[in-house]
Amino acid sequence: MFQVRGSAQHARAVERLRASYAAIPSGSPVRLAKRTSNLFRPRAASSGPGLDVAALDGVISIDRVASTADVQGMCTYEDLVDATLPHGLIPYVVPQLRSITLGGAVTGLGIESTSFRSGLPHESVIEMDVLTGSGEIVTATPDNEHAQLFATFPNSFGSLGYATRLRIRLERVGSHVALRHLRFDDPALLAKTVSEIVETGEHEGRRVDGLDGASFQPGEHYLTIARWVSTAPDHSEVASDYTGDLIYYRSLQTRETDLLTTYDYLWRWDTDWFWCSGAFGLGNPTVRRLWPKRYRRSDFYHKLIALDRRYDVADRIDRRLGNPVRERVIQDVEIPVEQLPEFLEWFDRKIGMRPVWLCPVVAFRDWPTYPLEPHRTYINVGFWGGVRVGDEASEAPLNRAIEAKVHELGGHKSLYSEAFYDRETFDDLYDGDNLAAVKRRYDPDDRLTSLYDKVVKRK
């Protein structure tokens, strides 16, 4: 079981961080000395010293009475869950990939099936300590003197600073999760059902704790309704195991009900990185049996993808075989629930990539840099793969078209992957004036890369 560290160990880690900041030459950019990433956009090569965050990767304390946890910024959700679940507690939102860090999810993107009732990971943050560009560590809360930093930090991707400690709310869960997979031929009916569940918290008179789904093709869409349970509803029922030969996403099409342990439910998508492990042959039973279980993880697949991108392996093979070059289309976008049918119809016609993930989300307050309208229901549509477009692939025509369509429909696009907005549009979408004001206050010497330069500007 993961060991909770304590405040003394955290204090030593913070001192290491301060020392590493002091070692960066005055006027030089401040960046993380971090080798791994869950981002899907090119990053500029860096040299020189960076911030030492290696010791900021654990849980500081858990308050079982208050149902809260103090967590270091670089702690992965895998380690966080390992610390909280033995107490029957989990974070309000547990992003679907094990290696996502709490700080990364709050300053970037994190979403899961509880987001229809709990928002995004930053919604459950009570307070956070942030190392700013000036080297100062401040404690930001929703209503103290650093409230503007607290509100602007989500979706700032390190352009305003790095979280060293976050206090978050936890919720109680049972030992198992009971699932129902509902099939819809009509996406409008799926959208209507989502709206009703968000409004009532129920489906057919039963509580709904988790809600997500997938669209496999036109006329074949699924919602999965999850309910925390203390014991299996049918004591003779054995929980399914999707870490071996079985593949979770395929179960949506073949089962009406299912049962998972809570632990396996939280990581149900990670073993196969949703459906992306098929690119490595893991849909083949023989390959799957030979592939070591310890490498059936999203972070390992991400390393393989990074190697492919670094050496252009897939593109070289396509060119040698005479195939059109593929444009990588890796995005998460939030679409207003009532616009989902139009977006899916357009996506099928223009992009033609399936399956796509569907995850309802509702924000409960205004977050300037994460511009979801409070209390409005959106559907996060996630799609990750490549589409053969030919020589124009490097110009990203499909990604640009997606940006335009999402904007047209009043939606929102995450910035963890490539973005192509011009500066004026970007500032309009992500409240550039407020971002600039907060950055001037907490990074007066401009040592942190601005959000636009970090996520859009080509290096």
Residue 318 lies in a domain: yes
Residue 324 lies in a domain: yes
Q: Is 39's pLDDT higher than 70?
A: no
Mean pLDDT over each residue of the chain, to the nearest integer: 92
Quick: pLDDT tens for 299-323: 998 888 888 777 777 777 777 878 8
Q: Give the pLDDT confidence score for residue 37 in this predicted structure.
A: 57
Residues 197 and 339 in one domain: no
Q: Give the pLDDT confidence score for residue 415 in this predicted structure.
A: 93
Residues 411 and 441 in one domain: no
CA atoms within 13 A on the CB side of 432: 13
Q: Give the pLDDT confidence score for residue 148 in this predicted structure.
A: 98
Q: Give the pLDDT confidence score for residue 330 in this predicted structure.
A: 93
pLDDT-based confidence at 170, cuts 50/70/90?
very high
Residue 53, amino acid: V
Residues 184 and 141 in one domain: no
Residues 123 and 247 in one domain: no
Spatial distance between the Cα atoms of 353 and 47, rounded to a whole number of angstroms: 38
For 26-124, where are the alpha helices, taking DSSP H only?
77-84, 102-107, 115-118
Residues 204 and 336 in one domain: no
- Tokens linked to 318: 């396509």
Model confidence, pTM: 0.93
Spatial distance between the Cα atoms of 228 and 178, rounded to a whole number of angstroms: 7
Residue 2 lies in a domain: no
Q: How many domains is the chain built from?
A: 3
CB contact at 8 A, 329 and 355:
no
- Tokens linked to 232: 């299996």
378 - beta bridge partners? 336, 361
CB contact at 8 A, 184 and 203:
no
CB contact at 8 A, 210 and 204:
no
CB contact at 8 A, 262 and 181:
no
Spatial distance between the Cα atoms of 95 and 371, rounded to a whole number of angstroms: 20
381 - beta bridge partners? 333, 358
- Tokens linked to 302: 């991400």
Residues 339 and 259 in one domain: no
Q: Is 58's pLDDT higher than 90?
A: yes
CB contact at 8 A, 224 and 259:
no
- Tokens linked to 351: 């992009």
| Overall size of the chain counted in residues | 459
Quick: pLDDT tens for 419-442: 999 999 999 999 999 999 999 999
Picking from 237, 252, 268, the residue at the C-terminal end of a domain is: 268
Picking from 216, 239, 268, the residue at the C-terminal end of a domain is: 268
Q: Give the pLDDT confidence score for residue 137 in this predicted structure.
A: 98
Residues 86 and 155 in one domain: yes
Residues 136 and 214 in one domain: no
In 3D, which of 123, 80, 72 has the Cα closest to residue 98?
A: 80
Residues 24 and 109 in one domain: yes
Q: Is 185's pLDDT higher than 50?
A: yes
Q: From residue 30, how far is each of 22, 129, 152, 376 by CA, in Å?
A: 10, 17, 19, 37
Q: Give the pLDDT confidence score for residue 48 in this predicted structure.
A: 63
Residues 165 and 195 in one domain: no
The domain that holds 396 is classified in CATH as: 3.30.70.2520
The DSSP output letter for 448 is: S
State in Å, rounded, how far the first CA of the chain is from the last one. Answer: 42
Residues 338 and 383 in one domain: yes
Residue linked to tokens 């080297």? 135
Residues 323, 355, 376, CA angle at the centre, nearest 5°? Answer: 130
Spatial distance between the Cα atoms of 300 and 270, rounded to a whole number of angstroms: 10
Spatial distance between the Cα atoms of 94 and 112, rounded to a whole number of angstroms: 6
The domain that holds 147 is classified in CATH as: 3.30.465.10
Domain housing 353: 312-420
Q: Give the pLDDT confidence score for residue 27 in this predicted structure.
A: 86
CB contact at 8 A, 167 and 69:
yes
pLDDT-based confidence at 1, cuts 50/70/90?
very low
Q: Give the pLDDT confidence score for residue 323 in this predicted structure.
A: 84
Query: What is the phi/psi pair of residue 336, to 5°?
Result: -50, 135
Residues 215 and 82 in one domain: no
Picking from 252, 268, 284, the residue at the C-terminal end of a domain is: 268
Residues 239, 243, 248, CA angle at the centre, nearest 5°? Answer: 75
Residue 213 lies in a domain: yes
